[in-house]
Amino acid sequence: MLKIRYSVLFLFTFLNLAFGQKTEIVRGFTRESFNFQGKAAWLMKPKVPALGNPWVWRAHFPDWHTEADSILLQRGFHVAYVNTNDMFGSPAAMQIWDDFYNYLVSERRLATKVALEGVSRGGLYIYAWAKRNPLQVSCIYAEAPVCDIKSWPLKHGSKADWNLLLKSFGFKDAEALDFSDNPMDNLKGLVACKVPILHVISLEDKIVPNEENTFRLVENYIKLGGKATVWPMTKGEKSLQGHHFLIENPEQIADFIEQNSSPTKILLDARYYHQERTGLSNSFRKFKKEKVGRVAFMGGSITESPGWRDKFMQLLEEKFPDTKFEFINAGIASTGSTPGAFRLQSEVFAKGKIDLLLEEAAVNDRTNGFSSAAQIRGMEGIVRHALEHNPLMNVLVMHFIDPEKMADYNANKEPEEIQNHNSVARYYNVGVINLAKEVTDRINAGEFNWKDDFKDLHPSAFGQEVYFRSMKTFLNDCYKSTDFSATSVPRILPQPIDDFSYFRGDYFSVRNAKLLKNWKIADAWKPSDGVSTRKQYVDIPALISTEVGAEFTLDFTGTAIGICIASGPDAGVLEYSIDGKIYPKLDLYTQWSSFLHLPWYLMLDDQLKDKRHKLTVKIDREKNPKSLGNACRIFYFLVN
């Protein structure tokens, strides 16, 4: 029996040494030290873990003021640390932090939300990571934290520390002085995710002065609606120009962390809503090997507006720090898959070969009333055209949420537009993130609610974080599964799902119109009636008439013809024919026309023989009862 015990002890010691692991008792608790990606790391374990395995993550100086940690360990918390010292919360440090978090949550089964603790320069780390991942943070506790690098180390620190910071960020002095993502900056996401913060300070601190750090951050946080508390430590001696001080109330600090960390919640796994398929390997290999990348975002207003897209770009830049990226924002409000298919060539591909295309159209495909057939033709038009443009391109299709989709899912029905877009993505084996289903399920699981948190189909700051968290999980999983030593193989495309899909779609200039009768071409149209429009549709050529009976013809070649117009308060009715065939009249007025010259994409016929055709258009005498006139303003013809 004694030999067996010695054998087990020897094996345990050998494994610890072989894998750089060491287990010891520190302050009465087990601390397991190990190597993580070449960095020293450790995890302290409670004697009896609390339900859900809540934990605290220490930044720089993990052995300084451990009183609250010891109390939390007694209450069942784990305490973790990875040594990214002298990296100053830089993007490189944040990549290690991301991986360390994922390791502790997935392998060690710690809670998905963590309490962050930062001392002094540790403030740079905890706020940098928290702003990147606010939904994963239960609360922030900081002691005399650095909140502005211009305060420390530039003004009150050493030249050596300033140079280390510059090196870690890859900054020149001027870039560091212009740095606009200090802990005290860009706190909107943290506030939206309701992360409470507690700072303890010394009023005598000359190294990290409160007026330049904590007070400014807390003021910014509260002005945004955040919950922030500051506790001055006034007892005991102060040293290092007031920067070192006694912690008077560690129990209350432990209470703050425990109350905001417990009870832990088991959150839904975003991966359930992902279809990785071919993933992002081709583009990732390109980014890493060639150190250049062109990424395009195609969609409606949720893509065009700031939010998840900015964080996605930041993540790529930090994931591939040596890569020079070009990002193309081709999001335009109110546009879905049909407009996207015709916009793609001139607004995206004309800028060069695209490596990664993110596409979303489900919200506007429903809102704009596109038929089921049009939804497939539009989405296949985008995906197939993209893969023909660059057979090595990665495409990611995303479905965003709106109340109608949520109602469908709650009635156990998959929204039609999502069915159609999924059928295209599945056929071409491209990735999908179904955020519509994910948000619906998270709301139903009580993680948050629509009215107070997500708020609108144009997501609140909180909703943007929900979207991005899922995208980040997808991106990290794709990165993990990418074999960077492999060679990317161009796709061989199958036959189209629908021969009439818009994968040959493009704009056709209005200057090609002929036999103009009471029409004119404005070289740089803009509204003259005080009614707004989309910024992408001003100061561009437009074929215009406001007169009944105005007529023109157009010769074109292809299987489809359509028009992109401004549907404003005076939008009229068109009558038209193709090759002599008369079609039903087309009312140009929409439900939004009274207050917006809405860019509106209308297909006149999309099932023609692939040959030369003649279109004849005339403004009809009739008009919508709500319209103020008989106007037609055409920006582009749409030819497939």
Question: Per residue in 354-391, pLDDT tens?
Answer: 999 999 999 999 999 899 999 999 999 999 999 999 99
Predicted local confidence at residue 2, as pLDDT: 37
CA pair distance 429, 423, nearest whole angstrom: 10
Element (H, E) at 223: helix 214-223
pLDDT tens track for 33-81: 999 999 999 999 999 999 999 999 999 999 999 999 999 999 999 999 9
* Residue 381 DSSP label: H
3-state secondary structure of 71: helix
Residues 493 and 503: their CA atoms lie apart, in Å, by 12
Dihedral of alpha carbons 603, 606, 368, 428, sign: negative
CB atoms within 10 A of CB 19: 10
Q: How many residues does the chain have?
A: 640
CB 325 within 8 A of CB 316: yes
Residues 152 and 161: their CA atoms lie apart, in Å, by 9
Structure token digits, residue 486 = 């492999």
Q: Is the peptide bond before 263 cis (omega within 30 degrees of 0)?
A: yes
> Whole-angstrom distance between the N-terminal and C-terminal Cα of the chain?
82
Task: Find the helix packing angle between 461-481 and 435-444, rounded to 10°.
Answer: 120
Q: Specify the pTM.
A: 0.93
Q: List, in order, residues 6 or more apart from 6 with CB less than 8 Å away.
A: none
- How far, CA to CA in Å, does 122 sit from each of 59, 60, 81, 195? 5, 5, 12, 18
**Phi/psi at 617 (5° precision):** -125, 140
Average pLDDT of the chain is 95
User: For the segment 178-209, what is each residue's pLDDT rounded down to a tens digit?
Assistant: 999 999 999 999 999 999 999 999 999 999 99
CA distance 69 to 56: 8
Who has greater pLDDT, 287 or 3?
Answer: 287
Rounded CA separation 284/580 (Å): 51
Q: What is the mean pLDDT of residues 434-447?
A: 97
Q: In the beta sheet, which residues pair with residue 433?
A: 274, 398
Question: Phi and psi dihedrals of 13, rounded to 5?
Answer: -65, -45
pLDDT of residue 306: 94
Query: What value, to the nearest 5°, has the Cα angle with vertex 629 and ends 628 and 634?
Result: 120
Res 21: pLDDT: 85
**Lowest-pLDDT range, 12-16, 188-192, 320-324, 602-606?**
12-16
The backbone torsions φ and ψ at residue 267, rounded to the nearest 5 degrees and listed phi first, read -90, 155
Instruction: Return the residue matching tokens 């509260």.
Output: 222
Cis before 153 (ω within 30): yes
pLDDT value for 12: 40
Dist. CA 69–CA 62, nearest whole Å: 10
Where would I find the beta strands (DSSP E) of 379-517?
A: 394-399, 431-434, 506-509, 514-517
- The 8-class DSSP code of residue 471 comes to H
Q: Find the helix packing angle between 435-444 and 403-410, rounded to 10°.
A: 70
